[in-house]
Amino acid sequence: MNQNFDIIIVGGGAAGFFTAINIVEKNPKLKVAILERGAEVLQKVRISGGGRCNVTHAIFEPNELVKFYPRGEKELRGPFHQFCSGDTIEWFEQHGVELKIEADGRMFPVSNSSQTIIDCFLKATQKLGISVLTGQSVQSIFNLEVSGENVWKIETQTENYLAEKLILATGSNPKVWEMLQNFGHAVVSPVPSLFTFNIKDSRIKELPGVAAQVTVKVKDTKLTSTGPLLITHWGMSGPAILKLSAWGARILHDKNYQFTIYVNWLNDEDTAYVEKKLKELKQEHAKKSVSKKSPFEITNRLWESLVLASGIEVETKWADLSKTQLQNLANQLTNATFQVNGKSTFKEEFVTAGGIDLKEINFKTMESKLHKNLYFAGEIVNIDAITGGFNFQNAWTSGFIVASAI
State pLDDT tens for residues 46-96: 998 889 999 999 999 999 999 999 999 999 999 999 999 999 999 999 999
CATH fold label, 2-191+350-405: FAD/NAD(P)-binding domain (3.50.50)
Question: For 351-384, b where at least 16 C-beta lie within 10 A, e where not — what string?
Answer: bbbbbbebebbebeebbbeebebbbbbbbbbbbb
List residues bridging with 355 in a β-sheet. 188
pLDDT value at 387 more than 80: yes
pLDDT value at 19 more than 70: yes
Query: Which pLDDT value is given to residue 133?
Result: 98
Helix (H) or strand (E) holding 94: helix 85-94
pLDDT value at 349 more than 80: no
pLDDT band at 140 (very low <50, low <70, confident <90, very high): very high
Torsion angle of C-alpha atoms 53, 58, 60, 65, degrees rounded to 10: -70
- CA-nearest of 398, 371, 11 to 165 is 371
pLDDT value at 243 more than 80: yes
Query: Which pLDDT value is given to residue 1?
Result: 78
Residues of the chain with CATH 3.50.50.60: 2-191+350-405
Q: pTM of the predicted model, to two decimals?
A: 0.88
Other Cβ atoms within 10 Å of 46 Cβ, number: 16
The most distant pair of C-alpha atoms in the chain lies apart, rounded to whole Å, by 94
Q: Looking at the chain, how many residues does it have?
A: 406
Across 103-112, 144-153, 163-172, 378-387, least confident range: 144-153
Query: Which pLDDT value is given to residue 211?
Result: 98
d(CA 41, CA 286): 66
